[in-house]
């Protein structure tokens, strides 16, 4: 199995993973041979890339942190709730806590079954319905960070609900403000800033969120140095939920395709967040995120500073910056491996970039 960005896909390749559309229906299926028309559809739908089958890398398997049925089922449930909120002209649509838990608990259980595992997979979501996919991925990230920080089960469930609905206030804004490329005017940015207050109030009133959950929603755009909004809170005056959701919100946004830029690979997004540690983000939360995400996900093609290429075959938990690579000669994977962690010959080796298919 290998991951290729959409630019690297060519006619005749076989998909190794299903690709789902914005309604969480299978758009392209595992094992499907790609035609030129399929590739054009993939590009038009805005999939960042796809996993392909390859006999040379058949022992490399990239698995999502939760299975695709649970993931896309959760996205579908969230999409329905968000649609109901958008249609709620009386601002009284209610989701009882039991229904909220029915969404979060299965995800938490699945993550606990793989406690300690890193998120080692590139999401192949379509460009459309960004908000629904973003909500679920923010929840997954928040739960894994909360687990890393030792939160209780009850705290994790509350954090999961708060992170899942952290951007619900955005449905009250004009869609053009959220998806338009280019810089917003000062007046438009003031409108965007209102989504945290409006979302927190709506959830507190209709979803019966606890004070800590409401704070998480209200404060997920507060910055650690006090430069955020809506109240310019600093450091630990920002609630723990607010500090966690803030970094999950930004990390998933960075690693997703947006109207104004392509999706970043994990290592690039982690580098952005590291540079903003102790400024925009709590350094303890940055450290926790770095410990739950693989910077170079399995099945991706990378280049070493020395010039060698390799497909990531395995990430070592003790140092994910030094994975096991299956050698790649520029045209196809080889049978030899570069062990960046355990082979003295590669003790000084360093990955410098992700690359697409070389032909």
DSSP bridge pairs for 4? 50
**Structure confidence at residue 176 (pLDDT):** 66
Tell me how far CA of residue 63 lies from CA of 43, 113, 114, 253, in angstroms: 23, 14, 12, 21
Query: pLDDT tens digits, residue range 189-222?
Result: 888 888 999 999 999 999 999 999 999 999 999 9
State the SS3 of 36-104.
HHHHHHHHHHCCCEEEEECHHHCCCCCCCCCCHHHHHHHHHHHHHHHHHHHCCCCCCCCCCHHHHHHHH
Q: CA-to-CA distance for 172 and 199, rounded, in angstroms? A: 8
DSSP bridge pairs for 277? 281
**Structure confidence at residue 294 (pLDDT):** 96
* Cis check: omega of the bond before 249, within 30 degrees of 0: no
Top-confidence residue, 221 or 188: 221
**Structure confidence at residue 263 (pLDDT):** 87
Query: pLDDT tens digits, residue range 75-87?
Result: 999 999 999 999 9
Angle between helices 97-113 and 68-86 (to 10 degrees): 160
Put simply, whether the predicted model's pTM sits higher than 0.85 gets the answer yes
How confident is the model over 256-270, as a mean pLDDT?
87
Query: pLDDT tens digits, residue range 288-326?
Result: 999 999 999 999 999 999 999 999 999 999 899 999 999
Domains, the chain, ordered by start: 2-57 (3.90.105.10), 68-290 (1.10.3210.10), 301-354 (no CATH)
């Amino acid at each position: 199995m290998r991951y290729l960005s959409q630019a690297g896909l060519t006619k005749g390749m076989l998909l190794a993973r299903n690709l789902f559309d914005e309604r969480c229906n299978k758009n392209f299926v595992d094992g499907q041979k790609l035609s030129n028309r399929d590739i054009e559809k993939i590009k038009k739908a805005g999939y960042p890339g796809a996993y392909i089958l390859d006999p040379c890398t058949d022992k490399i398997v990239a698995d999502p942190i939760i299975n695709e049925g649970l993931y896309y089922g959760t996205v579908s449930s969230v999409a329905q709730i968000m649609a109901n909120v958008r249609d709620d002209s009386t601002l009284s649509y209610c989701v009882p806590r039991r229904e909220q838990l029915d969404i979060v608990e299965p995800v938490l259980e699945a993550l606990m079954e793989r406690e300690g595992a890193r998120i080692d997979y590139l999401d192949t979501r379509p460009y459309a319905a960004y908000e629904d996919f973003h909500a679920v991925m923010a929840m997954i990230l928040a739960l894994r960070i909360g687990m890393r920080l030792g939160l209780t089960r009850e705290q994790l469930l509350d954090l999961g609900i708060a992170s899942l609905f952290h951007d619900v206030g955005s449905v009250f804004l004009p869609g053009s403000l959220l998806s338009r490329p280019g810089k917003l005017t000062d007046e438009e940015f003031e409108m965007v800033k209102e989504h945290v207050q409006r979302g927190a109030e709506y959830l507190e009133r209709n979803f019966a969120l606890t004070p800590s959950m409401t704070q998480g929603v209200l404060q997920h755009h507060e910055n650690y140095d006090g430069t955020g909004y809506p109240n310019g809170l600093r450091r630990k005056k920002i609630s723990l939920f607010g500090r966690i959701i803030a970094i999950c919100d930004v990390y998933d946004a960075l690693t997703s395709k947006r109207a104004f830029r392509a999706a970043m690979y994990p290592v690039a997004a982690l580098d952005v967040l590291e540079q903003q540690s102790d400024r925009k983000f709590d350094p303890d939360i940055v450290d926790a995120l770095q410990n739950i995400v693989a910077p170079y996900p399995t099945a991706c093609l990378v280049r070493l500073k020395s010039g060698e290429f390799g497909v990531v075959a395995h990430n070592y938990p003790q140092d994910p910056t030094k994975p096991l690579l299956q050698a790649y000669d520029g045209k196809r994977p080889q049978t030899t491996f570069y062990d960046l962690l355990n082979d003295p010959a590669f003790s000084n080796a360093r990955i410098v970039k992700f690359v697409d298919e070389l032909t």
